[in-house]
Structure 1
């Protein structure tokens, strides 16, 4: 039987995640996931691709107060979200909207990263890549799902074991077998239903150690050797799945998971799939 093994929420896009024992799932994914993000002066989002030190920033958000710790900051940022002018921003070139959070957090993050930036909070409406759901500042879909056994298999192919946080999933499953998520179209966890709609394409961010911000090519190189697939006309390195909620509710670590394939048949630990 498959179960939920880990849950993570990322309140501030491309920064550290928060491990949870229980999480509320809404139309845009886990509550507060990717609710905030940093933007450049040209209003494009900032990610670990260009600012690896984002990995070292540790946010916490309870819906009332955003707290962010940085390794070399004398004091953490403590910020109560504010309303204000709406700013047109982009995520990977796709337009969306945010509310600028003011000069104080902008100065704190600019100092922590050594580059000019501003903090925005999501507002408005944003659609998934297939226009089949809603999301906040996530790249294309509100939920990222990965199997524990998939990472275990990858770790047999790299020089030293990689932790799960390197891949930044929202939901970690156990019991499907290595790459079992590849053949799943629907997850049912209590009252929550999640549609898995496409493989998760991986980029250089998985080469960044989330505890040191140092880069090494091993993870992406290892995956490229056996997880490359032509998708939408171009080769992509795939690991995990992306999806969106069909029915909301609460998920708790240890919950049983019913996983169904495209035919509606239950999937119970299929053998690894080479893409």
Structure 2
């Protein structure tokens, strides 16, 4: 029987993940306590988002969710406390840009800006998604459905099967290379008990009262080449993936995993080990 084998939250875009035993699924993605996935983001002085694509050291920034705050740590830095309660009404906002979207976001203040600037060695600020902002996933892949997302690359959740990673690792090991952990690909949900890349052919997944729809193969950038434990490049799996994961539906992009949205069951609790039912797209 297929099951959920991992649930992962990324409170700050492109920073370290938090593995969870259970999580609340919402239209915006996963949530733990009062913290949503990719609810915070680091931007440069022009408001442009930063990610591991250009700042691999972001992998070493570690958030921890506490009862009323988020503790953020990095090597050589004193911990930073970021409030998780809703910002006060007059909290300053910034215009920030993530890919093709420019929206208003809450500025998390000078102390957080100084901390992240020192950690990354470049002037930057921490921002928080504003409920007044609206950012939607591409309707081309959501059947014209309005699907909100926060600071994810484009969709509320990313799903990968353990079988798909196992298949890639067999190919890497056959070439005398090192097997890779799942965190290289930064999914929110990992499922087990299915064949490699079966997720490519799944229309929906039922988990309790939650119905998830798999909508768009995830094209891969250089981030899987970054060791999430060290923030350094290598080994890079993209050359292996290029031999069998080129997707003509996405202009021959390399794909691994499937972007996912919630159809029903906002507020449902998902948990590791939970049995799920898959409906194939055929």
Please report the TM-score for the alignment, with normalisation by the length of structure 2: 0.89
Residue number in structure 1 paired with 2:96: 89
Are 1:87 and 1:100, in contact at CA under 8 Å, matched by a contact in 2? yes
Per-residue CA shift, 1:16-47, capped at 9, x if unaligned? 10000000011101021000000011111000
Pairs within 5 Å for 1:118-197: 118-123=125-130, 124-130=133-139, 132=145, 133-158=147-172, 159-197=177-215
Are 1:44 and 1:93, in contact at CA under 8 Å, matched by a contact in 2? no
2:258 equivalent to 1:241: yes
Are 1:3 and 1:255, in contact at CA under 8 Å, matched by a contact in 2? yes
Are 1:201 and 1:237, in contact at CA under 8 Å, matched by a contact in 2? yes
**How far apart are the structure 1 equivalents of 2:136 and 2:204?**
20
Report the RMSD for the aligned CA atoms in angstroms: 1.3
**How far apart are the structure 2 equivalents of 1:34 and 1:185?**
25
Per-residue CA shift, 1:217-269, capped at 9, x if unaligned? 5311111111011234x221000100111122110100001011124xxxxxx
**How far apart are the structure 2 equivalents of 1:94 and 1:61?**
28
Residue number in structure 2 paired with 1:19: 19
Task: Please report how far the alpha carbon of residue 183 of structure 1 lies from its aligned counterpart in structure 2 after TM superposition.
Answer: 0.4
**How far apart are the structure 2 equivalents of 1:241 and 1:88?**
30
**How far apart are the structure 2 equivalents of 1:98 and 1:62?**
22
Q: Which moved more, 1:165-174 or 1:61-70?
A: 61-70
2:278 equivalent to 1:254: no
- Count of residue pairs the alignment pairs up: 261
**How far apart are the structure 2 equivalents of 1:12 and 1:71?**
17
**How far apart are the structure 2 equivalents of 1:240 and 1:125?**
25
What runs of 5+ residues in structure 2 fail to find an aligned partner?
Answer: none
Per-residue CA shift, 1:179-232, capped at 9, x if unaligned? 110100101001111110010110100000001111125311111111011234
Are 2:178 and 2:235, in contact at CA under 8 Å, matched by a contact in 1? no
Moved over 4 A (4+): none
2:203 equivalent to 1:200: no
Among residues 213, 224, 228, which one is paired with 2:231 in the alignment? 213
Residue number in structure 2 paired with 1:109: 116
Are 2:6 and 2:19, in contact at CA under 8 Å, matched by a contact in 1? yes
What runs of 5+ residues in structure 1 fail to find an aligned partner?
Answer: 264-275
